[in-house]
């Protein structure tokens, strides 16, 4: 009876996935641990290899550390508050049609980001967060590594963390639409500092809008598959622009 009572309370006070709002504490701990651990790991690898921190191998190490923290938060939240299944708790599923849906979502995201760029063009608030890509120019191995990082790794872990854990936990307090915008805001803020100075304004705003588009993709399809594909295509476009166009 005690287990049944606790289960009922969690379900009634949480979002569609059954995640309660307090699951956000695990998200906060996970991303903080990931940032610190990733930074330390990148510095250790850079020191051991004699490479710059911004070179491909230390960047890879840093991202792996960050993703470990994010994934750890998702797994712990699922075990503590959910069914212990990432598929059921965070809609980590996909279908073949998600390739088409994801392409459409990516297109919308690119349009919104281009619109923000046009609005702030020529001002102090215009910036870019593609430094991680441009640092690898002239380094074929580095280009391959960062392409895999931003177009494969980041979409999976960031969608699971932001559109999975954070969105569903926020739904307990903000409702479905409020949760989409809440996680989008946090997604944008998480990328603060990737541009120089006031250039962060356009970068953060662009990523808030992208996060909202990806959030609605998860909400309307009830799965993360389309968002993972869209996120990957969006980042892959940035790779092409940096290395093939510029």
Position 46 confidence tier, pLDDT thresholds 50, 70, 90: very high
What is the pLDDT averaged over residues 68-97?
96
Mean pLDDT of 11-31: 77
Summarize the confidence of residues 1-30 as an average pLDDT: 62
Q: What is the mean pLDDT of the chain?
A: 90
pTM for the complete prediction? 0.90
pLDDT tens sequence across 205-246: 999 999 999 999 999 999 999 999 999 999 999 999 988 875
Over 90: is that where the pLDDT of 138 sits? no
Please indicate whether residue 207 or residue 52 has the higher confidence score (pLDDT). Answer: 207
HEC readout, the chain: CHHHHHHHHHHHCCCCCCCCHHHHHHHHHHHHHHHHHHHHHHHHHHHHHCCCCCCHHHHHHHHHHHHHHHHHHHHHHHHHHCCCCHHHHHCCCCCCCHHHHHHHHHHHHHHHHHHHHHHHCCCCCCCCCCHHHHCCCCCHHHHHHHHHHHHHHHHHHHHHHHHHHHHHHHHHHHHHHHHHHHHHHHHHHHCCCCCCHHHHHHHHHHHHHHHHHHHHHHHHHCCCHHHHHHHHHHHHHHHHHHHHHC
Domain that holds residue 62: 2-245
Would you state the pLDDT for residue 132? 85
Using pLDDT thresholds of 50, 70 and 90, give the confidence band for residue 103.
very high
- Please, which pLDDT band fits residue 27 given cuts at 50, 70 and 90? very high
pLDDT of 246 reads 56
Residue 13 has pLDDT above 80, yes or no: no
Total domains, the chain: 1
Q: What are phi and psi of 185, to 5 degrees?
A: -60, -45
Q: Provide the pLDDT for residue 196.
A: 87
Average pLDDT over residues 23-31: 97
* Max mean pLDDT range (126-135, 189-198, 227-236): 227-236
Give the percent of the chain with pLDDT over 90.
77
CA distances from 196 to 125, 129, 193, 200, 207 (A): 9, 9, 7, 6, 16
**Which position has the higher pLDDT, 109 or 192?**
109
Structure confidence by residue, pLDDT tens digits, 160-188: 999 999 999 999 999 999 999 999 999 99
pLDDT reading at 82 higher than 80:
yes
- Does position 10 have pLDDT exceeding 50, yes or no? no
Is the model's pLDDT at 81 over the cut of 60? Answer: yes
Residue 90: per-residue pLDDT: 96
Q: What is the mean pLDDT of residues 44-50?
A: 91
């Amino acid at each position: 009876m005690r287990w049944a009572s606790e289960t009922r309370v969690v379900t009634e006070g949480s979002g569609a996935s059954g995640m309660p709002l307090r699951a956000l504490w695990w998200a906060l701990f996970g991303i903080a641990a990931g940032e610190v651990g990733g930074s330390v790991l990148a510095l250790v690898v850079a020191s051991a290899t004699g490479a710059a921190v911004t070179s491909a191998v230390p960047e890879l190490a840093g991202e792996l550390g960050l993703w470990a923290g994010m994934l750890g938060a998702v797994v712990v939240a699922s075990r503590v508050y959910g069914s212990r299944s990432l598929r059921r708790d965070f809609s980590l599923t996909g279908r073949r049609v998600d390739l088409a849906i994801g392409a459409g979502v990516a297109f919308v995201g690119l349009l919104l980001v281009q619109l923000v760029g046009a609005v702030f063009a020529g001002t102090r608030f215009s910036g870019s967060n593609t430094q991680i890509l441009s640092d690898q120019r002239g380094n074929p191995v580095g280009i391959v590594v960062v392409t895999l990082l931003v177009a494969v790794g980041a979409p999976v872990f960031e969608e699971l963390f932001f559109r999975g854990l954070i969105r569903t936990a926020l739904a307990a307090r903000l409702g479905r639409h409020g949760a989409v915008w809440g996680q989008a805001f946090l997604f944008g803020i998480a990328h603060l500092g990737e541009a120089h100075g006031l250039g962060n304004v356009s970068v953060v705003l662009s990523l808030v809008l992208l996060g909202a588009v990806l959030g609605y993709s998860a909400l309307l399809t009830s799965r993360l598959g389309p968002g993972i594909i869209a996120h990957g295509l969006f980042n892959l476009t940035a790779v092409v622009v940096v290395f093939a166009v510029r």
